[in-house]
Amino acid sequence: MPKTALVTGGSRGIGFGIATALAKEGWDLVINGVRAEESITAPLAELSAHGVKVGYARGDIGSVEGRAGIVSVANEFAGGSINLLVNNAGVAPKVRADLLETSEESYDWVIDTNLKGVFFLTQAFARGMVAAKKADSSFEAAIVNITSISATVVSINRGEYCIAKAGFAMLTQLFAARLGGEGIPVYEVRPGVIKTDMTSGVTDKYDNLIAEGLCVQPRWGFPEDIGKSVAALARGDFPFSTGQVIMVDGGLTMPRL
């Protein structure tokens, strides 16, 4: 029986790289985003071309109503509970402001989406996964969280983003501990500098840093790098590694002399 994955923020960037990797492995997909469905027909069609079913759950994970709609659409599409939740959606600060200038408005917006929203979306789907496994012990489920090296690497011009990602990393640990006894692994994938629309405004900065040795592997990361790691976790290639962090950063965070 086909398994279903929900990829939040899955119509572009890292999320689309993840969705593509899962589609190639035969996963039916529910893609979440905030744009109208008619504006993302091309990526949805590209995913469908891999021979899988693809649905769209429009909704803002930062709002109660948005999360409720996502859960309803995804579970209806799956005919019960989804098998895999990939928490990828997130926002960057609208303005990269010095830590001493960070506004409450920016802080609340980033935290509500990147941390609070993810927590309660995960909670909702975890409840469904636990219920599905109790009803059918053969039901397979997992959760993969896409965080960032910003969980531990300081950027003083986007402190609210770093705080959210650090909390997100703890969220992985919490749900891994809670769901381990239920047979539901929870993993964290921690990307480094990835070439997406989110990093397009700082391309020159990172081109220079990479050329100067920022990463052990002297290149940008790409969405497909993240997709391959998620696909391996989704296949169950790491069955005894719940709660663990998979670094996909080209060695950027490796201590070096």
List alpha helices for the chain, DSSP H: 13-24, 41-48, 64-78, 104-111, 118-135, 159-179, 203-211, 223-235
Give the three-class secondary structure for 2. Answer: coil
Q: Cβ neighbours of residue 170 under 8 Å, at least 6 residues apart?
A: none
pLDDT at residue 42 tops 80? yes
pTM for this entry: 0.97
Q: What average pLDDT does the segment 74-91 reach?
A: 98
Active-site residue, from 56, 107, 161, 187: 161
Q: What is the CATH number of domain 4-248?
A: 3.40.50.720
Mean pLDDT of 92-102: 96
Asked if 201 and 157 touch (Cβ cutoff 8 Å), the reply is no
Whether pLDDT at 34 is above 80? yes
Q: Would you state the torsion angle of the CA atoms of residues 25, 192, 168, 133, taken in this order, to the nearest 10 degrees?
A: 20
- Give the CA distances from residue 153 to residues 2, 145, 148, 149, in Å, rounded to whole numbers and listed in that order: 39, 18, 9, 6
Tell me, what amino acid is at 21? A
Per residue in 103-140, pLDDT (tens digit) is: 999 999 999 999 999 999 999 999 999 999 999 999 99
* Residue percentage of the chain with pLDDT more than 70: 100
Whether 107 is catalytic is no
Average of per-residue pLDDT across 27-52: 98
DSSP category for residue 79: T
125 close to 119: Cβ distance less than 8 angstroms:
no
Q: What residue ranges do the domains of the chain occupy?
A: 4-248
